[in-house]
Amino acid sequence: MAILILAGVALLADWLDAPLPAVAGAGRVSDGDSFRLGDERVRLLGLDAPELNQHCATVDDPRWPCGRAARDRLASLLAGGPVDCQPDGHDRYQRLLARCQVNGLDLGATLVGEGWAIAAGDYGAEQAAARAARRGIWAGGFDKPADWRDDHPRPSPFLSWFGL
């Protein structure tokens, strides 16, 4: 009897830990590190791109819209064909966390390697190369996206009903 219970627990644990099925389709950009696949919101794993309203600085332009530039680059990558994603859970906003490719091109590696996002757990070599070559946001000064979000919190949806 104990063996049957242990076998049942093992099967349940395996089922609960099963990988999410791959998702694919035409992607519609949201910002520099997230997009939609149909009704599913997807957040790329292993990187953090500047927020849409974030600005960066260079010698020539002390306030250039690097968040919009990151979004535009992801949009151009998504336009290259269907997106294939391997999910790895959900974040606190219920977005699907995933590693994604378009025509075999790793979106995360490309964005970090071109300097449109910083590495966040992955893509360290790509970030080092982008930083050394001063590509994208590495061409000047910028706040890390997480620091920028801390300094520019989103208004509460509840408060926005009252115009606050």
Q: Do the beta carbons of residue 118 and residue 127 sit within 8 Å? A: yes
Q: Do the beta carbons of residue 35 and residue 74 sit within 8 Å? A: yes
Instruction: Band the pLDDT of 21: cuts 50, 70, 90.
Output: confident
Counting every residue, how long is the chain?
Answer: 164
Cβ neighbours, 10 Å, residue 60: 8
Tokens of 74: 């992801």
Q: How far apart are CA 46 and CA 132, in angstroms?
A: 20
pTM: 0.82
Given this model, what pLDDT does residue 23 score?
A: 86
Average pLDDT for residues 109-135, to the nearest whole number? 97
| DSSP 8-class letter at 163 | T
Distances (CA, A) of 70 to 39, 95, 126: 22, 19, 16
Given this model, what pLDDT does residue 1 score?
A: 54
Q: How far apart are CA 145 and CA 112, in angstroms?
A: 13
Domains in the chain (CATH in brackets) are 19-138 (2.40.50.90)
Share above pLDDT 90 across residues of the chain, in percent, rounded to a whole number: 74
Backbone angles phi, psi at 20, to 5 degrees: -70, 150
> pLDDT by residue (tens digit) across 43-100?
999 999 999 999 999 888 889 999 999 999 999 999 999 999 999 999 999 999 999 9
